[in-house]
Structure 1
C-alpha cells in the first residue's frame, strides 16, 4: 500500500489566519499527540496550526489540540476523537479545538473545549461526554453549548458585513459619549441599534434566516448559556439565540436547519475522500508555511 506523500510549500503573502478573540485567552495545550482522526471527507479540509502553518487533511489524517479546522465549499468532514465522540463539519465552517484531554483510566483529567467560529456541525457524545458531561463545552459567538449525553446540530449564521459595521460604529459612539454636565463618560446602551438578528439577508446567500445560533437536538439534551440566561433543549426541540446578550429560546418548529452529508458518512467506512481519490492511497499531507 502506498504511503501518503508529504510536501512543504511556502505560504503566499495573502494566506493569513483570522484569530478568534476568545482563543487568544487560552493557555498552552497540556495534551500531547493527536486527539482525533478524519474518518470521512467529501472535499477540501484544512487544519490551521497555532504556529501559523496550515495542513491540508485527508482521510486518516490526525487532528491535534489547537487546530482550527476549516471546511471548504461543498466539504463535509467527519472527525472521530480518541474517546469515540464525533464531530461532522458542514461546508464553509470553522471549528477550533481549544482543548481536548482524555485517558480511559483518568476521568478526572477529562476536558473538551471547542469553538465554533463559523458555519455548522453535528456532534455525537463519546465516553468523555457521558462520564463527565460538565467537562464538555462548545463556544460560539452567541452562546456556550453544554451537553447531557447527546447528539445535536449547531449552526451559526453571521451578521452581514453592513450590520457588523453599523454595530461597530454604534459601539464607538457609545464609548465616546460624555455627559454635558460632568464631562464624564457614560455607558450608553447599544439597544438603540437594531438587533443584529434583524439585519437584512445578504443577497445571494443560501439562507434568509436571521443571524445567530440555531440548534437542533437529535438525542439527549443540551443547554445554551450566555449573558441573557440559560435554556435547556431536549430531543426533538429546536433553539435559537441572536446575540450573546439575548437569552436562548425554544422554537416551535425547524427554522430551516439542513444537515445532509454524503450517504457514505453514515456507514462509518471512511471511504469518501477529498482530492486524494478513492481509498486515500494517493493522499497528500501538505504543510504550508
Structure 2
C-alpha cells in the first residue's frame, strides 16, 4: 500500500510540475507574441527563447522564436531555430520555406535551394509552383529578391497546423548518475534515437529537456537528429549516424569567460557560436581527425566521413570560420564557401558550395528528389554529349560514376562513399604511368586514372589540343585560383567541373578572360 501511495504521489507531482511548466511557458509565449506583433524583436527573442526552453515541444513557440530572430536580422539563429522546428515536425513545409529565406538572407544561396526543390515536389497550385520556380531561379542567380517577394503567397498555400509532439519525452527520466555532475546544456529537439555515454555514468538515452554534461559522447542512429542548447547559448545540431564528444565545456556568466571544445568522429554537424565565441573566440573549437575548425561568432556546417577520412566544412553566415591543421589553414569568411580536408593533407582553398554538398548539409531534406532534379537537368541540357543518351535520370550519373555497389541514385544515401570523387584533391588520384610532354597523347591518356579518363568516354573527339588549348602541358602550380592541376599537368578537370549545370562547365567565369588569366597572368 505504501509503495502504491508513493507512486501515486510521484505521478501527481510530475503532472503538477508539467502543468506548472506548461502554464509558465504559455504566459511567456503570450508576452513574446505581443512583443513580436509590435515589432519589438530584441525583447521578443529573449522572452520566446525562455519560453522555448521551458516547453521545447510547443511548436508554435519555437516557430515564433524563429520569426522573431528573422525579424531581428539574426538569420544565423533563425536558421538553427527553424532547423529545430523541422526536427520536431518533419512535415512542416512552411518551415522549409523559412529555412530557404534564412539562407538566402545570409547570401548562402546554394544551401537554400534544396528546400525549394523539395517544395516543388508538393501538389502546389500552378500559380504557386510558378512563384516557387521564380524564387529558385533567383537563388540560381544569387538573388534573394524573388523568394522574399513571393514568400507570403507561397507560404499561404503551404501553411497548416503544426504537428503535436508527444510530451511523453518530458516525463521520462534518464539514467541516474553515479557522481553529481553539473549540466552544460539541454536537449531541445530529438528525432529518432540519440544516446549519450559518460565515463562517470554509463549510457543513457537523450530526451527532450534532457541534460548533457562534459565528457558526454553523443551518438545518433540512422535517420535520427538532435539539437542541444548550451549554457552560453551555443547551439549544436547533429545529423544521422553522427558522433560528437563534449571534450571541454566551461562557462562563467559572471565573468563572461568560457571554453568549449567538441570532437566530431563521424557524421553531420552544425554549430552556431554563443557567448563563448563572442567573448573568448580563441577558446572555442571543433576538432576532427582531419582538421580543427575555429570560429569567430558564426554559423557553420560540416561533415566528417570516418571511412574516407575527409572533412567538409561550409561557412553559413556570420563573421567567419577557419579550417586548419599542422599542414595549413584556410579561412572561410564568405557565406556559401567551403573547404575540404583529407587526413594528412592541408585544407583545400575556399570554394563555392556545390548543390551536392548543400544537399548533404541540409540534413537529408529531400535527398532523392534533389539528386533526381540534378540528373534531370543534366539529361535535358547535355543529352547531346552522350554517345548513347541515357534513358533515365539515374543513368546520367552512372555514365561517369560506374560502381557495382550502386544501381540507383537512392543507394547513394546508404553508401555515399561509393559514388564519391574528390574534386578538391586531384593529386590523390595519381596517374598509373608518369605524364610527360615527351609522351604521345594516347600514352598519356592511357595512364590517367578513371577520374580523369572518363571524359573521353563521351567526348570521343578529344585530341591533344581541344578548343585550341593543350592537355598534358606542365604548368606552374602557383596562383591557380579555382583551377585544379594534377601533378603539375593540365587535364580536363583543370578548367572544367562536370557537376555544373551550365555549359561549358567552366570552374570560373571566363568573362573578360578571367579564367584564362588565372594562369596566363602576363597576358
TM band (smaller chain): 0.5 to 0.7
* Structure 1 residue 232: Cα displacement: 0.2
Name the counterpart of 1:245: 345
- Secondary structure at the aligned position of 2:276 is classed as helix
Map Cα deviations across residues 64-118 of structure 1 (whole Å, 9 max, x no partner): 000000011111101000011100100000000001111211234x110100111
Higher relative contact order (CA 8 A, sep 6+): 1
Whole-angstrom distance in 1 between the partners of 2:234 and 2:250: 12
Q: TM-score, normalised by structure 1?
A: 0.61
Secondary structure of the corresponding residue to residue 249 of structure 1: coil
Aligned to 1:136: 284
1:76 maps to 2:225: yes
Is 2:322 aligned against 1:223? Answer: yes
- Alpha-carbon deviation of 1:50? 1.5
Q: Which has the higher helix share?
A: 2
User: Structure 2 vs 1, CA of residues 32 and 74 (structure 1 numbering), >3 Å: closer, same or farther?
Assistant: same
Deviations 1:142-178 (A, max 9, x none): 0000001100001001225xxxxxxxxxxxxxxxxxx
Give the structure 1 partner of residue 255 of structure 2: 106
Higher mean C-alpha deviation, range 51-60 or range 133-142: 51-60
Distance in structure 1 (CA, Å) of the matches to 2:202 and 2:288: 24
Distance 1:7 1:65, change over 3 A: closer
Q: Which residue of 2 aligns with 1:151?
A: 299
Helix, strand or coil: the match of 1:129? helix
Equivalents in 2 of 1:241, 1:36: separation in Å? 30
Deviations 1:46-66 (A, max 9, x none): 001123610101100000000
Match of 2:408 in 1: none
Q: In structure 2, list runs of 5 or more residues that go unmatched.
A: 1-14, 19-169, 366-523
Instruction: Tell me, yes or no, if structure 1 residue 93 matches structure 2 residue 194.
Output: no
Aligned to 1:4: 171
The answer to whether residue 122 in structure 2 is matched with residue 122 in structure 1 is no
Secondary structure of the structure 1 residue equivalent to 2:350: strand
- In 2, the alpha carbon distance for the partners of 1:218 and 1:238 equals 9
Higher strand share: 1
The 1-side partners of 2:194 and 2:292 are apart by: 25
1:128 is paired with a residue whose SS is helix
Q: What is the distance in 2 between the residues matched to 1:93 and 1:247?
A: 22
**Aligned residue for 2:124?**
none
CA RMSD of aligned residues (A): 2.4
Q: CA contact under 8 A between 2:174 and 2:206: conserved in structure 1?
A: no
Inter-CA distance 232–8: structure 2 relative to 1 (3 Å threshold): closer
Q: Please give the alpha-carbon distance, in whole angstroms, between the structure 1 residues aligned to 2:256 and 2:344.
A: 31
Instruction: Please say which of residues 238-247 and 121-130 is displaced more in the overlay.
Output: 238-247
Matched residue SS, 2:361: coil
Separation (CA, whole Å) in 2 of partners of 1:251 and 1:145? 16
**Residues 229, 248 of structure 1: 8 Å contact kept:** no
C-alpha separation in 1, matches of 2:194 and 2:349: 33
The residue number in structure 1 matching 2:311 is 213
- Residues 21-40 of structure 1 correspond to what in structure 2 (within 5 A)? 32-40=181-189
Inter-partner Cα distance in structure 2 for 1:32 and 1:248 = 40
* Residue 261 (structure 1) shift: 5.3
Give the distance between the partners of 2:175 and 2:229, measured in 1 at CA: 26
Give 3-state SS (helix, strand or coil) of 1:102's partner: strand
Asked if structure 1 preserves the Cα contact closer than 8 Å seen for 2:291 and 2:323, the reply is yes
